[in-house]
Chain A
Amino acid sequence: MDSEDDMHDANDLESLDDDFYSGETGMGSDDGDGDYEFGNNASDDSDDGNLNRQQENYTVLSEDDIRQRQEEDITRISTVLSIERDHACILLRHYKWDVDKVHEAWFANEESVRQTVGLYENPVARTFSRELLCGICFERHPCDRMCAASCGHFFCYSCWRGYVSTSINDGPGCLMLRCPDPPCGAIIGQNMINLLASNEDKEKYSRYILRSYIEDNITSKWCPAPGCEYAVDFVMGSVNFDVSCNCSHNFCWNCTEEAHRPVDCTMVAKWILKNSAESENMNWILANSKPCPKCKRPIEKNQGCMHITCTPPCKFEFCWLCLGAWTDHGERTGGFYACNRYETAKQEGEYDEAERRREMAKNSLERYTHYYERWATNQSSRQKALQDLQNMQNVQLDKLSDTQSQPESQMKFITEAWLQIVECRRVLKWTYAYGYYLPENEHGKRQFFEYLQGEAESGLERLHQCAEKELQTFIDSSGPSKDFNDFRTKLAGLTSVTRNYFENLVRALETGLNDVGESGNQPTCSRSSSIKSGKGKNGKTRTIGGTTSRSLDDGNHSHWSCESCTFANTKSSMVCQVCHRRR
């Protein structure tokens, strides 16, 4: 998809037919969130900064890009040092493809560089006889059947070929191949390899040189996704390690695990190690089916969100994580869809699942299990969301644009919603590793953390519901629906709100939750509008599973929560900014 074309399409269409847009919401452009304005919750201006920084601190390189850069570096060294390209390549390899280092070392002491690298200027040994003894096969050969590296140690072609071929087939060490004469350090470059190696071996050798450009260079790495041939060149010193490969794999440049903001590499390594150590104990958790808490028939979770509806006639709606009735998770209990309350679950001890766990494992495993299960659930939900996104792009959008008779370029808000869901699942997943390592006795931080996580999670659940179930009704409908434009506004709004929640969450965790006050029940997050709006919630006390948690309300009654979409609107507006429902 070419996003610029889409944008032009959208703009052209807009000028032709303003009815596509619900006028005053100001959503004229379908790309980027910068255009959305939600009353006082105006878009956070640091977003664009983030985006730019991300684009500047790394470059994804294709094989062609790599070859081109490599050729350019070789040309630069060869020109500046006035040496053969072959020798320039040898020098660059020795100095790990650092052009500046080559310059520096060469101009400081050329002779010493030549000695270390093995690039001799005047052959140590020279001969004028017509026949020579080859030091490998111990036969005499005429001089024109023999050759030597820069040192002048002659061996016959047949021995050279055996020597070179053995080395190339031994692996990338062949890039450091030296003259066979034992104490001699003369380096064998690509020119000589091309003279002596088979076509197949030449090809292997040139791949090793290409690989060396990425693997030996401290600023670049291969994308770790299986089968991916892109590399990433990173601007050293950048704070944010998350990179996104053209193959769509997001990973951490520093540790090459999948992207794991907001937790750091050390914690990820610890968590992965922990998981592999516990994996045998964990198998029972991963069973993808649970009995319906009401009718006890086994239910398999097939949708990405945690809201499960049992098959008819039971139709019991419950939460996949805690198996509690879904009604307990709704607006009535404080407006949270979240189910991250391990402490609460433990205190209550009502669930079968929890009792089973208590029998099966000790306290520490139980605690780990809580976080692991949520980590793994979000992982598989993310996979599911990725599949859904693909299905959406390949099949559903087409169908939808048919039934709603709107061009597919107008459906981009759906793709964006799903991309946001995928990203949210990734972040949420890692917050559970974070939660596991957050010390139990840091009550203030824990409470703040769970609060932020709950906010993010409930925002995501709403978005997921909307993008999955509500969308389905429009796909299935027989003809254009007049509600579709409202749906567009709602989904785009939820996407933007959810993005804000998650950015706040990531920022807070990355700064070690240091914004939390000493008293522990007064979370303040200086400049994040959506946290404040989250706290607003009509000043309701948050109640989960019948247990009243400490109020997180900051007493600021400047917002009201929409009953339909829970968006926190400013007091001054009488209509929800997202779904247009009256207060």
Chain B
Amino acid sequence: MTSSSSPSRKTLSKIATNRLQKELMEWQLDPPCGFTHRVSDNLYRWIIDVIGAPSTLYAGETYQLQVDFSDHYPMDAPQVIFLHPAPLHPHIYSNGHICLDILYDSWSPAMTVGSVCISILSMLSSSTAKQRPADNDRYVKNCRNGRSPKETRWWFHDDKV
């Protein structure tokens, strides 16, 4: 077995493409409940509609997730944000950034877009108050120059919403 060189960018990009094609195919066969992928030619940016689960604060409301993948996917986590207007939630900032550990430190390449979507929906469903995080204004101001949420050093809110 050969182990003497790091995987090159080209191999990674091939892995990313293969893997995304497989995920997309899987999604089309069996989409996660409450999510719709808007069809586009761009394999590296998915726009996904989310419908709030019944009998939760967000029941019937529709929001859009934008998921961006790098050449290093799935070794690197995708960048996931809510498009404007982002749902009012104690872990979601008004600029759409989401404070959820699996999108950053706890990402694993064995996770998928589908599993991320399900985590986000469960985060929404367990919310008991429609409000912004306490530090929303400060955080959003700091992100004005177009900073990606992946550059933030997240201090994760506790699990209880």
Contacts and interface: CB of A to CB of B under 8 A. Distances in A.
Interface in B1-36: 1, 3-7, 11-12, 15, 18-19, 22-23, 26
A165 interface: yes
Given A136-B19, A157-B1, A162 B7 contact: yes
Given A162-B12, A180-B108, 9 more contacts: A138-B18, A138-B23, A139-B18, A159-B109, A165-B6, A166-B72, A198-B5, A198-B6, A200-B6
Contacts of B18: 137-139
Contacts of A201: 6
A562 to B, nearest CB: 65
B111 interface: yes
A199 B2 CA distance: 11
Contact of B76 (A138, A159, A166, A181): A166
Interface string B25-51: 010000000000000000000000000
Contacts of A197: 3, 6
Interface of A: 135-139, 155, 157-159, 161-163, 165-166, 180-182, 195-201
A161 B4 contact: no
B105 to A, nearest CB: 9
B123 interface: no
B87 interface: no
B78 interface: no
Given A137-B19, A166-B76, A158 B3 contact: no
B86 interface: no
B121 interface: no
Contact of B3 (A135, A159, A181, A198): A198
A175 B3 CA distance: 19
Main secondary structure of the interface of B (DSSP, over half): loop
Instruction: For chain B, give the interface size range.
Output: 20 to 34
B109 A161 contact: no
Given A180-B109, A181-B110, A136 B74 contact: yes
B75 interface: yes
Given A180-B109, A181-B110, A182-B111, A198 B4 contact: yes
Given A137-B15, A137-B19, A138-B19, A161 B7 contact: yes
A166 B11 CA distance: 13
7 contacts: A138-B18, A139-B18, A161-B7, A162-B7, A181-B108, A195-B3, A201-B6
B4 A166 contact: no
Given A136-B74, A162-B109, A182-B110, A199 B15 contact: no
Count chain A CB atoms within 10 A of each CB in B15, B18, B22, B75 and give the residue with the most.
B75
Contacts of A159: 15, 109
B2 to A, nearest CB: 8
A543 B11 CA distance: 83
B110 A199 contact: no
A181, A182, A200: residue with the most chain B Cβ atoms closer than 10 Å: A182
A410 B4 CA distance: 58
Nearest to B26: A138
A165 B7 contact: yes
Contacts of B1: 157, 195
A182 B108 contact: yes
Contacts of A138: 18-19, 22-23, 26
A180 B7 contact: no
A158 B74 CA distance: 12
Contacts of B19: 136-138
A163 B3 contact: no
A126 to B, nearest CB: 18
